[in-house]
Structure 1
Amino acid sequence: MSEPSAVFGGETPSRPRGSLRTAVVWEVLGGALRRRAEAAGTDVLDVLDTGGGTGNFAVPVARLGHRVTVVDPSPNALFALERRAAEAGVADRVRGVQGDIHGLFDVVERGGFDAVLCHGVLEYVDDPAEGIRNAVAALRPAGALSLLAAGLGGAVLARALAGHFTEARQALSDPAGRWGEGDPVPRRFTAEQLTELVGAAGLRVGAVHGVRVFADLVPGSLVDTQPGALDALLKLETEAAALPAFHAVATQLHVLGEKPS
């Protein structure tokens, strides 16, 4: 089985700048999967990726040797997932099924997974608390939940830096954290809101990280033209991610929840 760092960690000259946006999540997720596998005494985990789309996370997880089930409402996304998994040589370890997190147990079994990924889902569901409860119900005892959602503070900061001060203020006061009618994101969260949702569903909060604290704000020209800048920015993102002071300005927030044994 591949090492997590070989699959989704470690900066290389050929890695795209977009990797900055997911590096922190991969580091936390890779560690959680490794610990779960060691505790369970197995090299192969059953992983559920809710809203996993075309497999941005599912395929790298399958490359680690795990079995991944992707639940997504889009047939087109699932078709792309199948093709992507085949190209990566992991088609036998990736299964896509059409559905969503509210009807999760119409398509997968309860308590059947060692880890559940819930990335970019809570922003779009009618009832985030129900979505989290379903994700938790899909976990086996001692399983891990990887939760990634849009952060309120990052949106406010981005609108303000773009000169849209009224929209920044609107996002601050809006119950859903939206900056206006044209906002493509239906809902945003604070770190406190996400940890409360995870705790209320019966999980222990293992870690909270800010994601894309700097990556969305630093001009691409600075990163692309300075030797070593991409690696330095990645290290900065990684070190700042765990500091609570930066959670309030992160574009996304990542929470790792752990189910009792």
Structure 2
Amino acid sequence: MTNDHHFDQLAPRFSRNIYANLKGQLRLALLQDDLQPWLTDKPTRVLDAGGGQGQMSAIWAAAGHSVTLVDAAEPMLQQAQLLLDERQLSQRVTLHHSTLQAYLPGAPQFSRILCHAVLEWTRDPRALVQQLAARLTPDGVLSLMFYNRHSLVLRNAMGGILVKLQQDKLAGDGRKLTPTNPIDPAAAYSWLEQAGLTIELKRGVRCLFDYMPRITQRAADFDDIIALERPLREQEPYRHMARYIHVVARRSAPA
């Protein structure tokens, strides 16, 4: 397994391929759906762990929360600063240039931690889950979204890339946006439970869209696609076919 992967060199491609098209818009909108009960709660301290270009930090800051965004890629943080300045939210968000492994051990506790599309780029995802859980306040909530290994199996099969399946070599090489360590959902659920967290929400993110032909994706209407996605997100088998799995888990308060 390689070391943790950071997006210093891939930041422009990340912005173009993730946020500047329909699939990124769907991902962000579906996460907002899931987090709405906590987003509209009373203002609190939020950690955006590996928060990249700051889209989620901006949403939480606009709702009145105090946010700390930590990311290891300086170009990502520069983009986040531009976004926060543009939306006049800089005073509510503190940016930290650091790996999570370096930042978390001495960090304060947070009542809300967001960690989206980070786990699959780490060498030891189980250890990162434990570190994140340790920084939650009692009754605090972790929002964890990770790249689903099952979807990568299905996508490679549909594309006829059988050698990767036969050799069980699904990981990316770090030069593109295929994660270096795609996550088996059952393993992630187990890590959360081992870290003392109780899963309260478990939904797929983009159950259908990523399997549509490219010509259909390019012509698709956002409202039509999200209307198709929403009813399937907690249904099997669609939930565990999704490109990402989003889990919200709570740390129990002392009795």
Bin for the TM-score computed over the shorter chain: 0.7 to 0.9
8 A contact 1:146–1:256 mirrored in 2: yes
| CA distance in structure 1 between the aligned counterparts of 2:107 and 2:197, rounded to whole angstroms | 20
Match of 1:205 in 2: 199
TM-score by length of 1: 0.80
8 A contact 2:151–2:242 mirrored in 1: yes
Unaligned runs of 5+ in 2: 1-19
Unaligned runs of 5+ in 1: 1-14, 38-42
Q: Does 1:25 align with 2:19?
A: no
8 A contact 2:123–2:181 mirrored in 1: no
- Give the residue type in structure 1 aligned to 2:171: R
Q: Please point out which of 165, 169, 179 is paired with 1:168.
A: 165
In structure 1, the residue corresponding to 2:229 is in which secondary structure?
Answer: helix
8 A contact 2:114–2:143 mirrored in 1: yes
TM-score by length of 2: 0.82
Q: Percent identity?
A: 25
Q: CA deviation at 1:150?
A: 0.7
8 A contact 1:50–1:70 mirrored in 2: yes
- Give the residue type in structure 2 aligned to 1:197: W
8 A contact 1:54–1:78 mirrored in 2: yes
Q: Does 1:138 align with 2:135?
A: yes
In structure 1, the residue corresponding to 2:237 is in which secondary structure?
Answer: helix
Residues 105 and 89 of structure 1, relative CA distance in 2, 3 Å threshold: same
Match of 1:216 in 2: 210
In structure 1, the residue corresponding to 2:246 is in which secondary structure?
Answer: strand
In structure 2, the residue corresponding to 1:222 is in which secondary structure?
Answer: helix
Match of 1:9 in 2: none
In the TM superposition, 1:185-204 aligns within 5 A as: 185-204=179-198
Higher deviation after alignment, 60-69 or 182-191: 182-191
Q: CA deviation at 1:224?
A: 5.4
Q: CA deviation at 1:117?
A: 0.7
Q: CA deviation at 1:198?
A: 0.7
Q: CA deviation at 1:92?
A: 0.8
Residues 126 and 222 of structure 1, relative CA distance in 2, 3 Å threshold: closer
In structure 1, the residue corresponding to 2:120 is in which secondary structure?
Answer: coil
Q: CA deviation at 1:248?
A: 2.8
Q: Does 1:235 align with 2:235?
A: no
Q: Does 1:44 align with 2:43?
A: yes
| CA distance in structure 2 between the aligned counterparts of 1:30 and 1:71, rounded to whole angstroms | 22
In structure 1, the residue corresponding to 2:238 is in which secondary structure?
Answer: helix
8 A contact 1:191–1:247 mirrored in 2: no
TM superposition outliers: structure 1 runs of 4+ over 6 Å: 179-183
Q: Does 1:178 align with 2:177?
A: no
**CA offsets per residue over residues 172-220 of structure 1, 9 Å max, x none?**
x45xx53789874211122211111111110001111111111222235
8 A contact 1:70–1:95 mirrored in 2: yes
